[in-house]
Each structure stands twice: as C-alpha cells, then as structure tokens.
Structure 1
Amino acid sequence: MDRLDEQILGILTDNARCSFSEIGRQIGLSTNAAAARVRRLEDDGIILGYTVVTGQDAPELRGGLEVFIDVRLDAGTDYETFVAAIAPIEQIIDAVHMTGPYDYLLRARLRDTAALDSLLRRLKKSCGVVQTQTRVALRQPAPRWKKR
C-alpha cells in the first residue's frame, strides 16, 4: 500500500459514495486508474465493504465493543421463550443455539462496558438466563479469502 492508496482510503472513509472520477481528480489519477486501485484494495481485503451508518447505530460502530456471550438458560426457560425475550434487544446481532455447556452464543455490539453490564443484568433478570460467560473481540477478523 502506498501514499495514493492511503489517500484513496481517506477519501472513501469520508465519503464511501465518492465516484472514481472524483477520487482520481483529488489524487491526480485518471478515472480508470482510480477505479483499478479501489478494486485492488477490495481484492486485497483492505476495503472489506461499504455500509450505511445511522444515528442510532453510530455509537456502537465507532469505537464500541463487540462481544460474544455464552448463555446458559434456567431449567424452567424454554428456547422459544428465550428467543422471544431477546428479540427486542437491538444490541444483540446474532443468537445461535449451541451444543456443549451453554445453550446459546450471542453476539452483540455495545457502546461500552457499562452497556455490557446493563445487557448482562437484563438477560439474567428478564430473559431466563442463569449463567453467562463473556468474551470481548479485540479486533475485526482478517478476510478469510479474497474475492475472485
């Protein structure tokens, strides 16, 4: 990655909808050369995607926590009741029914540790959860494969 690639990333970070011709104009390349560089950055896994950030999602996506919570349900809580209880919790991204000592693996995005504490308390108080084990993601995973 060179200085031009870094400039392209800066431009796209500020405005992911910036056209190839505008990128080229800003860094002194033709439209085709700018497009080729952007495609190479995508193919190399430097650019993983483009997204829309809303005001509601922004705190969780800017420097928040991504956590994985192993959940053991109380003996009196059935799976349907648990899934219905967590459905309205916006911070929970995924809930996977698992084998092993825990019943579910939850993936959640949260603002900070105070929000994590609040979520764990809510799960135990009103969702039929008797035990949790939480892991915090330290960074996003590297791409497993390149686009072809």
Structure 2
Amino acid sequence: MIEKEQSRQSIDLSHLDRLDQSILLALAEDGRMSITDLAARIGLSKSPTQARLRRLEKTGVIMGYRALLDPISLGLDHVAFVEVRLSDTREAALRAFNAAVRQVPQIEQAHMIAGNFDYLLKIRTRDMATYRAFLGDIISTLPHVASTSTFVAMEAVKEEMLPSIE
C-alpha cells in the first residue's frame, strides 16, 4: 500500500468525457451496481460500458471498491482532530511518520499541512477515555512527535463521500 501511495500520479481528467463521468458518479453512489444496471443508467450497451470501466480501473481513476461502514453504529462516535508538530521535518523523518500513521487504523485521515503545525489527523474512537489513552499510548509515540493539540468534533455537519468531478 505504501508503494501505491508513493507511486500514484496525478491523472489527467481531460480525457474523461460525459459517459466516463457518468460511470464514476454512478459507482461512487453504488459501487455494487451490476454492469447491466450501470450500462442502462449511462445509456450504453454492456460491452462498451465494461470496456470504459476496465480503462478507468487500469488507468487508476477507479482505485478499488469497498464497503462504507457506519462508524456510529459501530460505536465509534468520538471524533478528534489532532494537530501534530514534529521535532524533525527532514525527509527521512517525514517518511517514518507517514509509514507509522498508515499502520494505525484509528487514524482515519492524515494530512501534511503548510502552516503552524505539520500534520492534521482525524481520529475516531469510542469515547473520550479511549481517545485519551490512544493519545498517550499511540499518537505521542509516533516517530518525531514533538507536540499535539486536540480538537473534539461536536457534530458532523457534512461528511461527503462522493468526490466532485468538474
């Protein structure tokens, strides 16, 4: 997975016509849609729809398929955003931190930030006590962590799962 992340390149979206965009939007809404239903939805027969789908997968526009799980029903309704400052921001330190973060399932998202801190992490746990232990036992022990600041989400106003294609 790490190699995939590092080797992923920007994809030229100018080659995506209206039908490709329709395929992407339909699958973003329902990744389990049959090829027959997909073809009917975009107004093509099965064979050209399947060829387009294979091309979108092969070129990396479609990276894969997965089930979206409801974290609330799984008891994971505590969300915290953590600003992380590193003690070292040389390339080797960044690589070490990135690799460690990718191994922690409670970290839903990790973004390198240009600003007063180095990374912004989205953490999902069961409750504040679980988060508190996670902060001390896991986050603070990640490579090169100098300091953290936590912001607890009170309510998710928008969590969009469908990317905008424009």
TM-score by length of 1: 0.53
Where does the alignment leave 5 or more consecutive residues of structure 2 unmatched?
A: 1-66, 161-166
1:139 maps to which residue?
A: 155
Question: C-alpha distance in 2, partners of 1:141/1:53?
Answer: 15
Question: Structure 1 residues 136 and 83 mapped into 2: Cα distance closer, same or farther (>3 Å)?
Answer: same
2:75 maps to which residue?
A: 59
1:126 positional shift: 3.7
The counterpart of 1:100, out of the listed 100, 115, 125, is: 115
Question: C-alpha distance in 2, partners of 1:72/1:110?
Answer: 21
Amino acid at match of 1:118: A
Amino acid at match of 1:109: R
1:127 maps to which residue?
A: 143
Deviations 1:58-77 (A, max 9, x none): 121xxx21111000012277
Question: Structure 1 residues 51 and 87 mapped into 2: Cα distance closer, same or farther (>3 Å)?
Answer: closer
CA RMSD in angstroms comes to: 2.9
Question: Structure 1 residues 82 and 113 mapped into 2: Cα distance closer, same or farther (>3 Å)?
Answer: same
Where does the alignment leave 5 or more consecutive residues of structure 1 unmatched?
A: 1-49
Structure of higher CA gyration radius: 1
Structure 1 stretch displaced more, 105-114 or 116-125: 116-125
Determine if the alignment matches structure 1 residue 83 to structure 2 residue 80: no
Question: Structure 1 residues 73 and 137 mapped into 2: Cα distance closer, same or farther (>3 Å)?
Answer: same
Amino acid at match of 1:83: N
TM-score by length of 2: 0.48
Count of equivalent residues: 91
